């Protein structure tokens, strides 16, 4: 298992437990993350992408917690139950094994410290500074990967850089301690289209050069088509469809997957062919009976309204949660 996959979610359910109610943000999620690839979690805002993947870092915001299942990381020394990590073991696991580029992460840079000092402090407290010369060489390597001038950026404060530069600094930061898995949560939010394309080109190059695994969280189906190797389509805390990117875009079986793709502008389609998904995502405080996508689905049946479909393997490597498909290739 660990040779092919770097992490697994096993029947994981995450609730936000409050005094009078409990909100189910992630519902019985099971998925294996391929080692060395780029796996995208795609879905509308509020679909549970960030909550689910934050479990890999024990980073679920309070009062959220895993109420069922678990998340496993396959490290060099075998399986690690992430929820069981504590103290020094958890501190070393974060950034050294799994790191994260947060949404709008440039706001996490310390405005009172130079970029060099922030990198050095992190490396020092993780015991990764053998000498100043070795650290400086590592910094040059990282900034070269993200196409930044090390001599200019290392002396700069965050306010002296553009949004695109700060985002690339944060990508370099995530790679500082040579983690095996990097989570990218909407890594190009609020950046212009040209800068977005540039950053994703760099990420794809880094993925191939270092064989580092990327988990990409996004609502942009166009970015998924360009960058991802595998795609998990999420809706209301559940996976609707999962496959490699060519299979998913070639077949796009689930009505929600088709809706996401058909609502995306394309240079080979006219504007009249764009068809947005009707309605709004459900309130997780009051999920519908049966299929969560049912109220917005053009193919919804009585069975869909009464019975929640389970995620089943429709064909080798292609999983779908929909009553339209019985688990065997048609």
Instruction: Tally the residues of the chain.
Output: 330
What residues does 181 pair with on adjacent strands?
A: 98, 213
Are 108 and 170 in contact by the 8 Å Cβ rule? The answer is yes
Predicted local confidence at residue 189, as pLDDT: 75
Domain boundaries, the chain: 5-97+179-194+209-290, 105-178
Q: Tell me the pTM.
A: 0.91
List of residues 6+ apart from 128 with CB closer than 8 A: 135, 176, 177
pLDDT digits (tens, 9 = 90+) for 139-195: 999 999 999 999 999 999 999 998 889 989 999 999 999 999 999 998 887 778 888
Its CATH architecture, for the domain 5-97+179-194+209-290, is 3-Layer(aba) Sandwich (3.40)
Predicted local confidence at residue 117, as pLDDT: 96
Q: How crowded is the C-beta side of 80, counted as CA atoms within 13 Å? A: 23
Predicted local confidence at residue 107, as pLDDT: 78
Q: What is the mean pLDDT of the chain?
A: 90
List of residues 6+ apart from 165 with CB closer than 8 A: 148, 153
Candidates 2, 8, 4; CA nearest to 232 is: 8
**Confidence at 65, pLDDT banded by 50, 70, 90:** very high
What average pLDDT does the segment 224-247 reach? 95
pLDDT digits (tens, 9 = 90+) for 74-88: 998 889 999 999 999
């Amino acid at each position: 298992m660990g040779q092919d996959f770097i992490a697994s979610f096993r029947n994981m359910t995450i609730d936000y437990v409050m005094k009078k109610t409990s909100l189910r943000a992630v519902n019985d999620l099971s998925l294996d993350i391929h080692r060395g690839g780029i796996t995208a979690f795609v879905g509308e805002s509020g679909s549970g992408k960030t909550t689910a993947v934050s479990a890999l870092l024990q980073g679920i915001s309070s009062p959220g917690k895993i109420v069922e299942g678990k998340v496993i990381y396959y490290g060099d020394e075998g399986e690690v139950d992430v929820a069981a990590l504590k103290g020094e073991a958890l501190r070393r696991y974060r950034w050294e094994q799994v790191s994260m580029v947060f949404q709008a992460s440039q706001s996490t840079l310390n405005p009172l410290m130079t970029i060099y000092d922030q990198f050095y402090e992190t490396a020092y407290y993780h015991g990764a500074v053998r000498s100043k010369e070795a650290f400086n060489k590592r910094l040059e390597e990282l900034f070269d990967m993200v196409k930044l001038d090390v001599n200019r950026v290392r002396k700069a404060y965050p306010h002296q850089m553009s949004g695109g530069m700060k985002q690339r600094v944060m990508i370099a930061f995530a790679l500082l301690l040579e983690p095996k898995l990097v989570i990218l949560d909407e890594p190009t939010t609020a950046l212009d289209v040209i800068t977005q394309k540039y950053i994703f080109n760099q990420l794809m190059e880094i993925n191939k050069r270092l064989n580092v695994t990327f988990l990409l969280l996004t609502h942009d189906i166009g970015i998924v088509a360009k960058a991802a190797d595998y795609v998990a389509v999420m809706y209301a805390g559940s996976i609707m469809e999962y496959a490699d990117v060519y299979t998913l875009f070639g077949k796009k079986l689930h009505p929600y997957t088709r809706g996401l793709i058909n609502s995306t502008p394309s240079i080979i389609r006219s504007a009249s062919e764009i068809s947005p998904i009707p309605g709004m995502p459900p309130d997780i405080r009051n999920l519908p009976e049966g299929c969560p996508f049912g109220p917005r689905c053009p193919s919804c049946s009585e069975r869909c309204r009464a019975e929640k479909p389970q995620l089943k393997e429709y064909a080798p490597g292609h999983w779908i949660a929909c009553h339209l498909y019985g688990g065997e290739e048609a």
